Structure 1
Amino acid sequence: MAPASQKAEEDDDDEGIADGDLAAIAPGYGESCKMVLVVRTDLKMTAGKISAQHATLACYKALMKKNAKLVRHWERTGQAKIALKGTSEEQLLELEAIAKSLNLCARSIVDAGRTQIEAGTRTVLAIGPAPVRLVNQVTGSLRLL
């Protein structure tokens, strides 16, 4: 059986909020895109633990299947990734629902519980890559990590 942290990547949406139309996002020529990573600060994870969360990879893999053109655009325009502060599991779930309602790729990671965090704890949410203007509709009020 796959660890819980890998489950989010493999099953994509077997639990949680269903994706919108991931193929619907098309950035304009030269339009900046970014991916954001919302990290729960209430868990007090170390930098190493945060870096081990694979929400960005889960988004990348999902979009390579559904909207590879968007991923290539993001790669050509600098692959911007921004880490933001989240406050709770409820906030991550709310942001994920908003992102998906805008057809943005959003994936949260549920930790396997092998080190610092209890198994089943939602730790990190990735959104994007997508045009900055769309991602900011979801996370524009959050502070940098």
Structure 2
Amino acid sequence: MPLDPRSVDQSFHFDSRQTALLRRQWGALMDTLVWGDVRSSRLGALPRLRKRFLELGENLRSVLNDRGWIPQPRERVKGAMGACLNLRDALNQVERGASTLNAGEDFPAFEQELLAFRHQLLLFLEHHESLWGDLLESQYDESSEDEEED
């Protein structure tokens, strides 16, 4: 049975306050990475972290992209779930890179802000992954019920 298009549309309604908070937090962290006083004792670690953090922002944007142009609801959901996986991977890369930071005047605040951002991002991801996972799972539940009736 196909997915209900209205349920799919509703699953893509992102809380504007939450997305604005994530954008603000990401922007502040990126600003600190570029202009702030954070340092690593490992050569080249900070430029790599900046690159990874930019990729994290791009992956967040990908999750938030409008997928209304995709005609099949199931494909919209699968695309969003794939974008979530990429975002989680980018977050892991950032966390690995951030673990090399160990000095600088802005380091303690950066560390706390990164933890707060991570928490908000995971809340956002878990909520939408759950909605999308339930939508996809509902197809299999209905398929197995149809097979049992035969």
Q: Which has the larger radius of gyration?
A: 2
In the superposition, the TM-score normalised over structure 2's length comes to 0.26
In the superposition, the TM-score normalised over structure 1's length comes to 0.26
